Every structure is written in C-alpha cells, then in structure tokens.
Amino acid sequence: MATSWAIRKQAEPSADALSLASLSAEARALWRLRYQRFRWALRIVLAESRLRLALIAVLSLVLWGVIFWLCLDGFHFLRAAVAHTPTHDQIVHHVFGMYLLALMLMLTISSGILLYGMLFRGPDIAFLLTLPVSTERVFLHKFQEAVWLSSWAFVLLSSPMFVAYGLAAQSPWYYYAVLVPFLAAFSYIPAAVGAMACLVVVRWFPGARMLFLAGVIVVLLAGGAWVVRGLSSTSPGDLLTPNWFQSILHRLRFSQHRMLPSWWVSMGILEASQPKQPAPWTTRPPWAESLLFLGLTISNALFFRQVAGAAGGRWYRSAYSRLHTQQHVSRPGFLPRLGWVAPIRLLRQLPPQLAAAADRFLLRLPIGSSATRLLVVKDFRLFRRDPVQWSQFLVFFGLVLFYFLHMRPFSYDIHHATWVNMVSFLNLSVVGLLLSTFTTRFVFPTISLEGRRFWLLGLLPLRREQILWSKFIYAFGGSILPCSLLVLLSDWKLGISPLIMGIHQLTAVLLALGLSGISVGLGAKMPNFRETSPARIAAGFGGTLCLVLSALYIVLVVALTALPSHFWLAFQTGQAAWSPGPFGLWEQSIRFWMLLGIGCSVLLGLAAAVIPMRMGFRAFHQMEF
Amino acid sequence: MKRSTPTPMVEFSHVRRCFGQTTAVDDLSLAIQRGEVFAFLGPNGAGKTTTIKMMVGLLHPSQGAIQVGGWDVVRHPRQAAQQIGYVPDEPFLYDKLTGREFLEFVARIRGMSAEETQQRIARQAEVFELTDFLDRLTETYSHGMKQRVVFASVLLHDPPLLVADEPMVGLDPKSVRLVKDLMRAHAAQGKTVFISTHTLALAEEIADRIGIIHRGRLIFVGSLAQMHQEGLMQDKNLEEFFLQLTDGQGRTPKLDASETFSAAGEEAAASSVVPPSADLPTSKEG
C-alpha cells in the first residue's frame, strides 16, 4: 500500500483543481459517460448473451413485419373500400390522429414514471447530486435517457404503420425522410410534459404521488372506456356504411384539435404523402406544408425541452430533498389525514386483515410440510410487499381482463363456431404467454436471490428440496388462479361450449404446472449469484432460455388441445364434412385425436413440471454457496 | 455571494431537519475550522447521516443554513460541491465502467484538463494501489476495492473538505491504516476532514475534536484532552463516556445546561455537554 512519500505526494497542494467545469464541458462529460456505459453493456451482451440478443432482434423483426403486413393490408383495403379520396384521407387522418393522441398520453405517463425512478430513486442520482454539476444538467441527463427509453418502442410500433401507409399511398421519397424527425420531435413533447408533471407532483405533493398516479390511470382508463363504448355502440346493420363512417369520425373529432401535437404530426405526415399538386385550401405544395408542420413540431419540442430543463434546474433539488425527508408512514396509512372518514378507515383496515387471512389460509393448506407452507407464506409476503411485482401483475392482467370484458361475442356477420373457438384458444395462449413472462421475471430469479442469503435458510432445519417445493407450490398457486379465472371469463364472453371450457380449464392447469416447473427447475439449475437485481437475473442466459422454453411449451400444449377441438367443432357444426381424408378425419377418429391430443398435452405438462424440477433438485442439492 | 473574510470551512447555523413529525436534526450550530479532523459520533438514528447529507447538498435543511467554504449549500450547490470530497456509507460506482473511466469522469466533471486528469489518476492509483484492477469493470470489484476507488475519486481534486460517512467499513487493516494516514495528512495541509463513525477508537486516534449527536441534538463537542481536563470522562474511556451520554438509563454527567459549547476547533475552544432535552442557546464560534 502507500508509502509515506506517496502520502506526502498525495498531500501536495493543488494548483487550480477547484475551478468549476464549464457547462458545456459537464454536458460532454455526461454524454461520454453514457457512451462508455453503453459501449461496455453492448460488448458484454455480444460476448455473453448472443442468444438473447439474437432472440430480441428476430422477435423485433417479426413484430415489425407483422405490423407492417397488417397495416399494408389494412390501408389497401381502405383504399379499395373507400374510393372517394377526400373521405379516404379524412379517415386516415382520424386514424393517425387518434393513434398519435393515444401514444402521446401513454408517452406522457411512461416518461413521468420513468423519470420518477431515474431522478428520485436511481442508484447514481445521489452520487451525481454531490458532484459540482449544475442541477439543470443532471435533470436533462436523466430526461434524455427517459425520452429514449420511453420512445424506442413507440418508434418500433409506429414505423411499420407509417412505412406501410407510404407504400399504399405511393408517397414520394421525402415522405420517408420526414418520418424520423417528426417522430423524434413528437416524442420529446409528451416526455417533457411527463417530466414536468413528475417534478410538480414530487415537489409539492410528495405524499400523494401514488394517489396522483392512480387518479391519472383511472381517468385515462375511464376515457378509453368511453371512447371504446362510443365506437362500439353502432347497430350491426350500419357496419361499414357511409353513415357508420360519418358517425365514427364525428365521435373521434376530439383528436383533431388544432392545439394537439398529435394533430400537427398527423397533418405533416399526410401532407408529405400527397402528390406534388397543392391541396385545394392552399397554394403551397404538400412538401412545404409538411415542412411547416415539422417546424411547428420541432420548435414546440425545443420549447418544452427548455421549459422542462428550467423547471428541473429550479425545483429538482428541493423536490429530491422533500421526497427523501418525507416521514415514512407505516402501511396502510396512505391517506393519513382522511383516517376519520369511516369508509377510508375501513379501506385502510381491509388490506392487512385480508393479507392475514390469506396467510392463515395458506398455512392450513394440506400441501407439503409445515416448513414448506411457511416458506410459501414468506414468498407471498415478499410478493405483496413489493410494489414492482404486484403492480406489474395487476397492470398486465388488468389489461387482459379489460380486453376480455370488452370482447364482443362476434355478433355481426361471423357466427362460425370454429372462429370463436380459435379466438378462445388464442386468448388462452395470450394468458399463457403473459404468465410465462411473470414466472420468468419473478419466479426464475428467486432461487438465485435465495442463494445469496442461503446462510439464513441453510442454517434452518430444512431440507433443500423443501425450498424448491415451496417455490413450485408458490408459483403454481399464484399462476393457476388468475390464469383459470381469465380463461373462464374469456370463454363465458365468447359463449363457448362446456366441453371446450373444460378442455381450456385443463389446459390452464397444465400451463400453470409446466411453467412453474420450468421456471423453478431452471432457476435452480442455472442460478446467478452475482446479480442482486431480479430483472437482470431474468434477462441473463438462464432467464432467456426459460422464456423461450416456456413459449415453446405454451405453443405445444395449446396446439395439442386446440387443433383436435377445432376439427371436432368444424364437423359438429357442419362446416366440414365427415370423410376419410388424408388424416382420417371421420367422426370416430376425431374423438380419438381429441383424446390423444389431450393425453399428449397432459403428458407434456407432467414432463415440463417433473423433468426441470428433477434437474433443479439435483443441481440445488449439489450446489455450494 | 462568497464572503471575503476568513470563515470556518463548515458552518451549521441553527440547522433543523424534520421528517414529517420527527425531528432528525434539531438546532444544530457548529463550526469546523480548516486543518481540523472532526469525528461525528452518535448511536444509530441519531442524525449523523442526515447531517452529512445536508452538508453535501442532498437534503435541504428545514430551517437554518449550512455553509461550506463560504458557499451556502442550498443557494450555491455547485460551488459548495466543488469544495467537498464525499465518501458515502454505500460506495457508488457505475458497474459498466472501469475504475479508470470512473475516475476520468469525475475529473472531467470537476473541470480538470486531460493532462491533469491523467497525472492525478496515476497519483491516486499509486497511493491506493489500484493499478492491478483499475482497467477492469467495477462490477467485478470487492467492497474494499470499490471503497478505495471511491476514496481515490474524492481526493482527485484535493478537496478543501473531505466528508466520509463510515469510511472504514469493508476496508482491510492495511487500507484502514492508509486512510487514517491520508486523513491526517489532509488535515496537515490545512484542509478539513469530517468523518462520521461508530468506531470510537478511530475517533480517539485521529480526531482533533469529537461531536456527539443524540436524538438529533448535538450533546457534546470537544477534544479528548478537553474532556479529561474538564473531568468529564474522569477515569472512563471514550466508549464508556459515549454510552453514558447516549444511554437513556445511564447517568448523565451533571452539567450546566446553560453552558453552551463552542464549535470551533481553536485551542481555546471550550467543550461542553448538553442534556438531550435541554434547549440549546445559540452556538457561537470559538
């Protein structure tokens, strides 16, 4: 270590080390920091997670291609169905306006939430705030990251639609050239609004931030439901008639407000897509109109960025201080000042009582040993006390629930039982895929995290198998209930026959069983004790493999039960004739195929639960901590 | 505005910080002079870390003001931060940077030229023996290695004030020795060292003055010699004295509550002990 002369050297007085960096120099330093971190992360991903990267790239391309194909087909259909050009343009304008307006709202919320995490809870923020960096620069540094993080998916989802429209409308080359600056400038505006909203809430209402967020989400959901209800209240006979179009456009007129950035972008993009002749209402050529809208969008983006930066420079530090000096109120005192209102008092008392009842229920279940049940209760408590877990669970399953509740039972011209059956199995797959993301994200990492504190469990009178069993029971129990209920709701809304409902319920059980086995077994077989973040553990090689295997398993299990059911319904409803075709599809054999499919899926489900668990047991038993 | 007259390196004036209904730091008035090593002691939850976070600009005082090198930490956070090298209780490093890249970033942010940056990094690498791992990603470092890199980063610009919150946690004995020597050397340069610690032996060994905070109130400030001289410690060591002061069941030394403590580090500064419940009069510089 250091010698005395080294310490003397250390202590030599500095010349001008206390002069502050210029504002541009600190901006460059932060950009360089971001570049270096990105370069290292990319290098590591390329070296260690090629499978994951390839999977992401392929899936993104597939998603892009599917959206592009659907949009292209849709725009061609629209052009064929609505020959009258002004009406066609009006419809497209409304579609773009509505889409961009919805995205604007989503970007505002997502960037606000992202910035809250980055500005007030980020691991590096306390470090940055103790450096001699201007507060505005720290704020902008995080703001730029939030813009990128919240808008890349927007670009991925929007670009195929706009490219498809360009092709369908035979747009000139500059249509494609202006797309990027339009989308980039557009994403800045809601991000800046979200940033300022986040700052204002934390600075002046730090104790009510969750209430505020919940209120915004409720308002948006109510607004969305109102729009959906308005659009779907047309009588079936009017579908695709001129009256129907006019009625829909009338209901969407709010998206055409001239002050909305979504309207500017929609107008600018559509102008760029026009042929070179000027529109009747202007003497300017379309490209000039488009550039005017682009200028309007960019100048507003810059204005909002400046305002957000100035607000950050002025209030960010005090907001940070206020948030971190808030008194930590023990749950469930999120409405402490309204505690005297009886319903709120009841609301406050309910969650702990329900939680205690759930704990007691779990402890009395006749499954496993008492130690195993105790471990299950422990995991359940960790789940419900971790807002990251239950909030994601609620949001995603809530969205699926919302979709299922608003699913219309094909009352127009489609009465085919096979179509309904197909949709029901697709819904089942969606629930399964959603479940697989949760088992990968929240169950798979638990073994690795348990390993980090294994000294605690290892010193208790427990067999290691009990730990894995408890994880399996926890994962299965937590999966089967939402999975089964959602599938039941979907079937009920679709008016599915009891036999297919029974098959769906069996498939739901198999999905929960297999996905729990895969996530727990692979989690024990491929743990990562270096990482502390469950998200990073799930994003590693083991997590990616778990996700891929889970997806394959879902496709296989659903296909094994869906295909025979589909053919059985087709023959039952007379949409296909009973005949000995190449696959022998006559009445007796279809029953055999159905039974065989169900039998195979049961066997597959058992294999998916047993094989990874056995591998996991072996690995977990031999593991040294 | 920066004051033209000589000022203490750190000056707390009637600082109070509340967390809702709870007062974490109550009417703290304290001045720490240049060239002084000040050890801040107190039981868990006494208000040490809150005091430090206010000093480095992370938290704002509910009342009162803090000046570092003459700069108000709330009104001039950038200038105040340039005076400070802060070692937090949990060392932070960007895990996807090498130690060298991290040090370069800190140097750039602190306004150093490229040449000066390399010279200073080389010097710190030598002092803290970082050379073997400085070009590795920091995510592969042990806690002790991280702590050494953090120390190197905060000393890059030779700060007039070194603030360290539990600096010895995770360091091996050799590193502990080094850090102690560095702190003393830093103070010998006329710079100030402010450490918060639970290790009473460390305070005894290197501190010029000791401050004890309990339930948000500064209940003692003074040197060990002053404690002995004034009979406060009698035949006790610092540990026994600390426990007696901070233990609610223990006997509190009989003191005159009206006697104020002097916060300055001058030889002439008087030490005093104030019961936690007593209202502190305005502190004065010694």
Digit-coded pLDDT (tens) for A252-306: 788 888 899 999 999 999 989 887 665 666 677 888 889 999 999 999 999 999 9
CA neighbor of A135 nearest in space, from B73, B10, B65, B106: B73
Same domain, A251 and A102: yes
Min distance A132 CA to chain B CA atoms (Å): 4
Q: What is the CATH number of the domain that holds B174?
A: 3.40.50.300
Mean pLDDT of chain A, nearest integer = 82
Checking if the pLDDT of B154 tops 90, the result is yes
Count of beta carbons in the 10 Å neighbourhood of residue A42: 12
A279 and A155 in a single domain? The answer is yes
pLDDT-based confidence at residue A234 (cuts at 50, 70, 90): low
A574: left (phi over 0), alpha (psi -120 to 50) or beta: left
Asked if residue B270 has pLDDT above 50, the reply is no
The full DSSP string for chain B is ---SS---SEEEEEEEEEETTEEEEEEEEEEE-TT-EEEEE--TTSSHHHHHHHHTTSS--SEEEEEETTEETTT-HHHHHHHEEEE-SS----TTSBHHHHHHHHHHHTT--HHHHHHHHHHHHHHTT-TTTTTSBGGG--HHHHHHHHHHHHHTT--SEEEEESTTTT--HHHHHHHHHHHHHHHHTT-EEEEE-S-HHHHHHH-SEEEEEETTEEEEEE-HHHHHHTTSSTT--HHHHHHHHH-TTSPPPP--TTPPPB-S-STTPPPEE--TTSPPPPPB--
Say if residue A240 is in the same domain as residue A343: no
Res B176 pLDDT > 60: yes
Confidence (pLDDT) at B124: 93
Averaged over A353-376, what is the pLDDT?
A: 83
Crossing angle of helices A541-572 and A417-438, in 10° steps, is 160
Residue A389 domain-assigned? yes
Residue A511 lies in a domain: yes
Q: Is residue A432 part of a domain?
A: yes
Asked if the model's pLDDT at residue B108 lies above 60, the reply is: yes
Q: What is the DSSP letter of A596?
A: H
Rounded Cα gap, residues B70 and B4, in angstroms: 9
Which of residues B66 and A572 earns the better pLDDT score? B66
The closest CB to that of A11, out of B62, B105, B189, belongs to B189
* pLDDT score at B263: 39
Sheet holding B22-32, edge to edge: B22-32, B10-19, B63-68, B71-72
Number of domains in chain A: 3
Cα–Cα distance for residue pair B177/B187, rounded to 1 Å: 16
Say yes or no to pLDDT of A412 above 70: no
The answer to whether residues A186 and A136 belong to one domain is yes
Predicted-complex ipTM score: 0.84
Per-residue b or e along A209-244, where b marks 16 or more CB atoms closer than 10 Å to that residue's CB = beebbeebeeeeeeeeeebeeeeeebeeeeeeeeee
Range of the domain at A222: 24-324
Q: Which residues contact A605 (CB under 8 A, 6 or more apart)?
A: A509, A510, A511, A513, A514, A557
Q: A137-141, A346-350, A462-466, A581-585 — which one is most confidently predicted on average?
A: A137-141
For residue B248, the model assigns a pLDDT of 54
pLDDT for residue A227: 77
- Token readout for A423 is 């949709």
Task: Let me know if residue B60 belongs to a domain.
Answer: yes
Out of B58, B111, B182, whose CB is closest to A126?
Answer: B58
- Our measurement of the distance from residue A59's CA atom to the centroid of its chain's CA atoms, rounded to an integer in Å, reads 15
Average pLDDT (A129-158) is 89
pLDDT tens digits, residue range B121-140?
999 999 998 999 999 999 89
State the pLDDT confidence band at B52, using cuts at 50, 70 and 90.
Answer: very high
Contact A29 B109 (CB under 8 A): yes
For residues A305-337, one letter each, b for 16 or more C-beta atoms within 10 angstroms of the residue's C-beta and e for the rest, the string is beebbebbbebbbbbbbbbbbeeeeeeeeebee
Q: Which residues of B touch A8 (CB under 8 A)?
A: 185
Residues in chain B closer than 8 A to A6 (CB atoms)? 126-127
Contact A20 B84 (CB under 8 A): no
Decide: B141 and B149 in contact? Cβ < 8 Å: yes
Average pLDDT over residues B147-166: 93
CA distance A150 to chain B (A): 22
- Predicted confidence band of residue A575 (pLDDT cuts 50, 70, 90): low
pLDDT of residue A314: 94
Which residue did the predictor score with more confidence, A331 or A240? A240
Which residues 6+ apart lie within 8 Å of B239 measured at CB? B200
Arithmetic mean of pLDDT, B68-90: 93
Is the predicted pLDDT of residue B272 greater than 50, yes or no?
no
Total residue count of chain B as it appears in this document? 286
Would A568 be classed as within a structural domain? no
Identity at A219, one-letter amino acid code: V
pLDDT of residue A357: 84
In the predicted model, is pLDDT for residue A246 greater than 80? Answer: no
Tell me the chain A residues in contact with residue B81 when contact means C-beta distances shorter than 8 Å: 130-133
Pairwise CB contact (< 8 Å): A10 & B129: no
B218 φ/ψ sector (left φ>0, alpha ψ -120 to 50, else beta) = beta
pLDDT at residue A334, rounded to an integer: 45
What's the pLDDT score for residue A58? 86
User: Contact A126/B92, CB-based, under 8 Å?
Assistant: yes
**pLDDT of the residue at A609:** 92
- Cβ neighbours around A346 below 10 Å, total: 10
Position B225 in a domain: no
**CA R_g for chain A:** 29
Residues 6+ apart with CB under 8 A from A162: A179, A269
A132: nearest CB among B21, B82, B124 = B82
Q: Which residues contact A581 (CB under 8 A, 6 or more apart)?
A: none
Nearest to A381 by CA among A296, A474, A288: A474
Whether residue A71 has pLDDT greater than 80 = yes
Q: State yes or no: pLDDT of A126 exceeds 90.
A: yes
Measured in residues, chain A has a length of: 625
Tell me the β-bridge partners of B272.
B221
> In this predicted structure, what is the pLDDT of residue B275?
43
**Tell me, what's the pLDDT at A588?**
66
pLDDT digits (tens, 9 = 90+) for B159-175: 999 999 988 887 888 88
Instruction: Nearest by CB to A14, from B20, B60, B158: name it.
Output: B158
- Domains in chain B: how many in total? 1
CB–CB contact A18 B186 (8 Å): no
Using CB atoms, which residue from A13, A19, A40 is nearest to B137? Answer: A40
Residue B77 has pLDDT above 70, yes or no: yes
pLDDT at A236: 56
Of the partner residues A6, A26, A135, the one whose CB lies closest to the CB of residue B126 = A6
Q: Kindly state whether residues A124 and A204 are assigned to the same domain.
A: yes
Question: Which residues from A are below 8 Å from B174, CB to CB?
Answer: 1
Evaluate whether residue A507 is within a structural domain. Answer: yes
Return the pLDDT at A496: 82
Contact B94 A325 (CB under 8 A): no
- Do A346 and A391 share a structural domain? no
Cβ distance B86 to A130 less than 8 Å, yes or no, reads yes
d(C-alpha A500, C-alpha A487), whole Å = 11
* Residue B285 located in a structural domain: no
Handedness of CA A33, A25, B74, B68 (dihedral sign): positive
CA B34 to chain centre: 13
- Give the pLDDT mean for B41-68: 93
Paired tokens of A336: 């402490």
Return the residue in A120, A131, A135, A324 with the most chain B beta carbons within 10 A, the one to mutate for interface testing: A131
pLDDT score for A348 = 57
- Spatial distance between the Cα atoms of B233 and A374, rounded to a whole number of angstroms: 51
Residues 48-77 of B with CB under 8 A from A: 53, 56-60, 62, 74, 77
Position B226, amino acid: Q
B182 touches chain A (CB under 8 A): yes
B281 within domain boundaries: no
pLDDT in tens, A379-410: 888 887 777 677 777 777 777 787 777 666 54
- Asked if the model's pLDDT at residue A122 lies above 90, the reply is no
Assigned domain for A576 exists: no
Q: Tell whether B228 is covered by a domain.
A: no
Highest mean pLDDT among A15-19, A74-78, A80-84, A125-129: A125-129
What is the longest distance spanned by two Cα atoms in chain B?
59
* Selection from B158, B218, B164 nearest residue B193 by Cα: B164
Q: How confident is the model at residue B271 (pLDDT cuts 50, 70, 90)?
A: very low
Q: Are residues A267 and A382 in the same domain?
A: no
pLDDT band at residue A573 using 50, 70 and 90 as cut-offs: low
Cross-strand pairs, B72: B67
Top-confidence residue, A329 or A405: A405
Q: Are residues A291 and A302 in the same domain?
A: yes
Whether the CB-CB separation of B31 and B263 falls below 8 Å is answered with yes
Residue type at position B56: V
How many degrees, rounded to 5, is the angle at CA A121 between CA A119 and CA A125?
55
In-domain check, residue A167: yes
Verify that A267 and A142 share a domain, yes or no: yes
Task: Say whether residue B20 is in contact with chain A using an 8 A CB cutoff.
Answer: yes
pTM greater than the 0.90 cutoff: no
Q: Check A133 against B109: CB less than 8 A apart.
A: yes
Say yes or no: A163 and A214 in one domain: yes
Q: Is residue B224 included in any domain, yes or no?
A: no
pLDDT tens-digit readout, B218-254: 988 988 887 777 666 666 677 777 777 777 544 444 4
Q: Which of A505, A473, A277 is nearest to A377 (CA)?
A: A473
**Would residue B149 count as lying in a domain?**
yes
User: What residues of A are in contact with residue B22 (Cβ under 8 Å)?
Assistant: 327
Strand order in the sheet with B272-273: B84-87, B161-165, B192-196, B37-41, B209-214, B217-222, B272-273
For chain A, give the longest Cα–Cα distance: 97
pLDDT at position B107, please? 95
**Do the beta carbons of residue A64 and residue A160 sit within 8 Å?**
yes
User: Is B266 within a domain?
Assistant: yes
Contact (CB<8Å) B181/A41 = no
For chain B, the first-to-last Cα distance in angstroms comes to: 24
Closest-CA distance of chain A to residue B241, Å: 31
- Judging contacts by C-beta atoms under 8 Å, the chain B residues touching residue A2 are 126-129, 178, 181-182
User: Per-residue confidence at A144, pLDDT binned at 50, 70, 90?
Assistant: very high
One domain, residues A459 and A390: yes
Same domain, A300 and A349: no
The region of weakest confidence among A291-295, A315-319, A389-393, B184-188 is A389-393
* Domain membership flag for residue A572: no
Q: Which of B22, B112, B182 sits opposite A10 (nearest CB)?
A: B182
User: Taking 50 as the threshold, does the pLDDT of residue B3 lie above it?
Assistant: no
pLDDT at residue A54, rounded to an integer = 84
Considering only alpha carbons, which residue of chain B is nearest residue A6?
B127
Cβ within 8 Å, pair A10-B127: yes
A91 or A31, greater pLDDT? A31
pLDDT at residue A365 greater than cutoff 90: no
Mean pLDDT of all residues in A554-578: 77
Confidence of residue B257 (pLDDT cuts 50, 70, 90): very low
What are the tens digits of pLDDT across the range A13-66?
Answer: 344 446 788 888 999 999 999 999 999 988 988 887 777 788 778 888 888 898
